[in-house]
Structure 1
């Protein structure tokens, strides 16, 4: 097991509402998210208290919705409750899960010196582990005790919505009786030690961490032979998929340096020459040694001890004496001695995965995409919103009115007539301005419809450049398509291998079904998954229905009956059943049984003449058998439950 401590805001005003919005509300919803009836009625802001802090964290940890269904599972003699909030099992020592946030906020308000009383950490187990709730909550209580918060208010919740089972723990740093705030100094080390102890006590799998436990049960600090990558270099490679200077130096030189140090041959000249052949240089910097790129000496540099601890400034001085600059790459007095050549350079625009395979083409493609992005940034930086000159046009109308009035003042002597003509000029001015307002409204609408009122997005701009024949834009679009295919391939890997597949024509859809033997789940991409005992049994993708192998004959019968029902509600055009022959026969037999026992205007049919002939022959042989009525097993969700008719289900099965 391992522990995660999420970062908090530096101004000591952590907003858990933003945390919930970031974690649970993405820019676009994932296609494999399960849709429920509560999605349409959920109002995210209705559950949050006005004081930022525990309210939003408890809502996130307990996965509370607008109308949560909380049920108390057990209460210990110490007053610790276990509450089942939807599908999430929670534990709290507050009065209740609903009032936990208010209690924590009220307790925290008693300590005016503690500006951020919320403490949040996550206990996580490996993907193949499934500890019991008792073991998880005992681990939570042990961790809080080691942190000095044994008597503090807390809410813990078990989440199973990721590959790794994990438990969120939100605790109040302020003691509920003394109102003193717990000091959380060195909490990460404390929790790492807790993980090692709990792994031995509950027989969890041992995970990596900053501490390890030996065979005698003693804890020791973990010593690494090689330092890990600096945070900046790791972020560059993770988020931009570009190789950092540190990663390049480690990949090209670490093994060579290790060999030289192990053989006792390391010297300043050998170190300089080894780095030079890889396009790197060594210099003194800030009291230590730094490795830099020979092609860009003024750019970013890497700490020498991070690349290899054996070439740190202290190690090299102890082994080889004071620092010596790089020797010349050739001997001017002896040209026959040859010249030291650079074999490879650091290319920062290459992707991390681009090690050596197809280096030249990938280098050119990476440079072209960087240029393409730079052109888009220049387009965004120089883009200006189309100016309709509204103010100038209004001023022209006003100026024209003023000129007309001045002319009337100079030419008309009768005061009454002059006053009348002034009124006419004002009226014409109002008419012109009204027409201009309507015209400006139409022009703005035309800009909105054409999309010229805002700059093009990155994707739209690339598509426009691709239409104009830009090769880099075409390469970028193909990269996006490859990423979508890869995501689609990962999505297909989520489902088991079916033993029977029923294919339909395009657009031949049916509603979701309520099955008494299956759990119905709707995903955001329109896929309907019917689960039995928590495992996929039948999946409706729209253009096909997949039937998966069952553990027993009864479950297999229910799965085939549901697949036959989904097929009967379709048009029957271009319907084919493929897969293992025995599985196909069982699906066809379920269709035959369904045609005999149900008469609701829907008939199970397939397009294959041989399969349909088998359906007719089996149906004729079963027509005269005596059957008994039982309750139906699956019906569309939108049908009225009061209009239920009995269904016959004791026909013989193959």
Structure 2
């Protein structure tokens, strides 16, 4: 097991609002994330969170506005376990619902403690499944070692990741004395707790800053290899140049480790290994230093930073006092040859390549920033096209007023004048009706051309790319690369299929509810049918993949489901490929499906030879006494709860 202490804000005002919004209420979903019934209604779910402890408890307990909380048990000490949805929680507060308020009230009694929220996570390895009792006992032991045995806390077990972990949110302020617990050196204390708990409960031993020996004593873990010096790390990060330390480690560390493992290291061999890489070894400031033979006056690095076993102390203890480098050429024995320098430290070549890449990268970044600024200027300066609807209506009304005035001056007969007024009103109504129709057409034209609202960022970039803008083209290529990378990562997440059935474009079918499989819908439209929690058949829309099964019974169910998915498609461009034995089993399942189901749908493929095999097998099986069986898989919308497979004694290939 191991421990994680999430970082806190430096202004002493820890707020988990952004974390809660991202984890619990974020709208952006990953394409490979499964669609659940609860996720569909997330937009209507209201989260209740209070500052400080409230938001942390809400996240740790996965608490919603109206949680389905159920008290599991209450100990004599007042510690209760509550099942909040699918999350098992433990708290020593009065209840899980009031835990946040109690902690906030207790923390407010200490005006010197600006941030009373303490949060850490106990995590177990992926193949471990500890019992809740062991997890909560580990939480209480960890709080005791931190000096917070009597403090208020909420612990929640999360099983929604590959590693079972427990979030612990505790109040640093004591509920009785109102003194704040000092959390100095808490990481070391929690690491020690992990080692003790691993031995007590039999958890797997994990890596950490402390380890326990066979006698039960704790010792600080010694690093196998030293980290890079600060100056060398900064040089490689900020200047994009390879440091002498990085070059020496890359070229010599593994060679030195092999020589030490074979017990063949000596002063002469050490000098020769370094010389062939263009490096030298010398005594410097009471120790050994590795330097560049081409620039011996330049900066050098400690030998122990390159490899801990070539420090002066280690070399003297193993091979005696320091010995200078031997000559690379023996004039008395020229037949032995000369020691060659195979490579050397040349930062100029590395800098030239890295500098060009850095300059191009910075130029792309600047160009895209300018492109984004141009888009923001376009959005800020965009104005909706003015159709002058009000002005045009007023013109019609004014024309009617003028027409009436002309009638009033020229027509003396009252009845005729009244009739001419009605004619003017009719002409006004007719013109306004025509204007309304014209405005409707103009608005539709604006909507069709996209001028009714400002362009989105992506549409605007595409328009600029059509005009020949280099930054827009670079941005579009970046998007395409990101999509390809995401697709590649998603494809790598599926196992290798035994058989693949390809279909024509747009040949889709609904999701199926199989009595032998669990249906899992992903947000990119992929439908995965699981058996025992593992992918058995996956419908990508344009193809169906059938994976290897651990036994023949599961293999039959997978093939039957693939045949059912194929039968519900048109069959115009159905191509079945893969391992020949797996292909034959899918074809046989299709034959059995055609014989036993009479729903107007037929399993068929585009390959003539495979279709001939299907017809021959059908004719052979129809001569037998085959009784129709119930449907093993049905479309989801039929919602047939009584569907169950009937195992029939038919031969399988």
Greater CA drift, 581-590 or 126-135: 126-135
Residue 360 of structure 2 is matched in structure 1 by 368
- What residue is the counterpart of 1:636 in the other structure? 635
Deviations 1:330-385 (A, max 9, x none): xxxxxxxxxxx993249xxxxxxxx79xx73x653442231232234345567745
d(CA) in 1 for partners of 2:229, 2:526? 42
Partner of 2:11: 11
Partner of 2:650: 652
Q: Which residue does the alignment assign to 2:245? A: 250
TM-aligned CA deviation for residue 126 of structure 1: 3.9
Partner of 2:346: 343
Structure 1 unmatched runs, 5+: 283-290, 292-303, 316-340, 347-354, 391-396, 398-437
Q: From the superposition, tell whether residues 262 and 503 of structure 1 become closer, same or farther in structure 2 (CA, over 3 Å).
A: same
The equivalent of 2:156 in structure 1 is: 157
Q: Distance in 2 between matches of 1:275 and 1:82?
A: 68
Q: Structure 1 residues 89, 6: closer, same or farther in 2, change over 3 A? A: same
**Counterpart contact for 1:598–1:647, Cα < 8 Å:** no
Structure-2 residue corresponding to 1:577: 576
User: Cα offset for 1:541?
Assistant: 0.9
- The answer to whether residue 468 in structure 2 is matched with residue 468 in structure 1 is yes
Aligned-pair CA distance for 1:598: 2.7
Change (3 A) 1:276 1:11: farther
CA drift of 1:5 comes to 0.9
Q: Kindly state the Cα deviation for residue 6 of structure 1 after the two structures are TM-superposed.
A: 0.9
Match of 1:615 in 2: 614
Equivalenced residue count is: 534
Q: Distance in 2 between matches of 1:584 and 1:66?
A: 51
Report the Cα offset of residue 53 of structure 1: 2.8
CA deviation string 1:440-493 (max 9, x = no partner): x99xx89x9469968967x965984696274x8766755654444333222222
Contact 1:213 1:219 survives alignment (8 Å): yes
Going from structure 1 to structure 2, the CA distance change for 1:578 and 1:197 (only over 3 Å counts) comes to same
* Deviation per residue, 1:294-330 (Å, 9 max, x gap): xxxxxxxxxx9999599xxxx9xxxxxxxxxxxxxxx
Aligned partners of 2:93 and 2:152 also within 8 Å: yes
Is the contact between residue 463 and residue 477 of structure 1 (CA under 8 Å) also seen in structure 2?
no
Q: State the alpha-carbon separation in 2 of the partners of residues 456 and 306 from structure 1.
A: 54
Structure 1 251/583 Cα, relative in aligned 2: closer, same or farther at 3 Å?
Answer: same
Residues in 1 aligned to 2:177 and 2:232: alpha-carbon distance in whole angstroms: 42
* Paired residues of 2:515 and 2:644 also in contact (CA < 8 A): no
Distance across 1 between alignment mates of 2:456 and 2:568: 47
Q: SS of 1:47's equivalent? A: coil
State the Cα distance separating 1:182 from its structure 2 match. 3.0
Q: Residues of 1 paired with 2:604 and 2:72: CA distance?
A: 48
In 2, the alpha carbon distance for the partners of 1:449 and 1:305 equals 65
Query: Could you list the per-position Cα deviations for residues 548-600 of structure 1 after superposition, in whole angstroms to 9, with x for gaps in the alignment?
Result: 12222222222222222222221222112222223222222222232333333
Secondary structure, in 3 states, of the residue corresponding to 2:13? coil
Instruction: Indicate the residue corresponding to 1:266 in structure 2.
Output: 284
1:193 is matched with 192
- With over 3 angstroms needed to count, the CA separation of the structure-2 counterparts of 1:519 and 1:79, relative to structure 1, is farther
Matched-pair contact (CA < 8 Å) for 2:119–2:170: yes
Q: CA deviation at 1:95?
A: 5.5
* Native 8 Å contact 2:512 2:636 kept in 1: yes
The equivalent of 1:33 in structure 2 is 33
SS at match of 2:497: coil
State the alpha-carbon separation in 2 of the partners of residues 202 and 482 from structure 1: 48
Q: Is the 8 A contact 1:518 1:531 kept in 2?
A: yes
Cα RMSD, aligned residues only: 4.8
Check whether the contact 2:633–2:643 (CA below 8 A) recurs between aligned residues: no
- Compared with structure 1, are the counterparts of its residues 476 and 579 closer, same or farther at alpha carbon in structure 2 (3 Å cutoff)? same
User: What is the distance in 2 between the residues matched to 1:581 and 1:66?
Assistant: 55
Residue 519 of structure 2 corresponds to residue 520 of structure 1: yes
What is the TM-score normalised by the length of structure 2?
Answer: 0.67
Contact in 2 for aligned 1:508/1:543 (Cα 8 Å) = yes
Unaligned 5+ residue runs, structure 2?
254-270, 313-343, 385-390, 392-438
SS at match of 2:347: coil
Q: Between 526-535 and 591-600, report the one with greater CA deviation.
A: 591-600
Inter-partner Cα distance in structure 1 for 2:463 and 2:473: 8
> For 1:263 and 1:573, how far apart are their aligned partners in 2?
74
Report the CA distance shift for 1:384/1:508 in structure 2 as closer, same or farther (over 3 A): closer
How far the C-alpha of 1:112 sits from its partner, in A, is 5.2
Judge conservation of contact 1:250–1:307 (CA < 8 Å) in 2.
no
**TM-score, scaled relative to structure 1:** 0.67
Q: Aligned pair in 2 of structure 1 residues 516, 381: CA closer, same or farther (>3 Å)?
A: closer
User: How far does residue 187 in structure 1 lie from its aligned partner after superposition?
Assistant: 1.2
Q: 1:556 to 1:309 in 2, by over 3 A?
A: closer
Please tell me whether the aligned partners of residues 629 and 649 of structure 1 are also in contact (alpha carbons under 8 angstroms). no
Q: Which residue of 1 aligns with 2:115?
A: 116
Structure 1 residues 148 and 372: CA distance shift in structure 2, 3 A: same
Conserved? CA contact 1:83–1:89, under 8 Å: yes
Deviation sequence 1:578-629 (CA, Å, 0-9, x none): 2222322222222223233333333222222222233333333334655667
Counterpart-to-counterpart distance in 1, 2:148 and 2:643 = 60
Greater Cα offset, 93-102 or 594-603: 93-102
Which structure 2 residues correspond to residues 201-600 of structure 1 after superposition, within 5 A? 201-224=200-223, 226-227=226-227, 248=243, 250-252=245-247, 263-266=281-284, 274=292, 277=295, 343-345=346-348, 360=353, 363-378=355-370, 384=377, 449=450, 464=464, 468=468, 470=470, 478=477, 481-600=480-599
User: In the alignment, which residue of structure 2 is the partner of 1:432?
Assistant: none
Secondary structure at the counterpart of residue 505 of structure 1: coil
* 1:233–1:246 CA contact under 8 A, matched in 2: no
- List per-residue Cα deviations over 1:192-218 (Å, max 9, x = no partner): 211222333344444443323334322
In 1, the alpha carbon distance for the partners of 2:617 and 2:81 equals 54
Which residue does the alignment assign to 1:427?
Answer: none
Partner-residue secondary structure (3-state), 1:377 = helix
1:22 paired with 2:25, answer no
Deviation at 1:121, TM superposition (A): 0.9
Give the CA deviation at 1:35: 0.9
Cα 1:305–1:173 change in 2 (3 A) is: farther
Distance 1:549 1:606 in 2: 22
Residue 20 of structure 1, CA deviation: 1.5
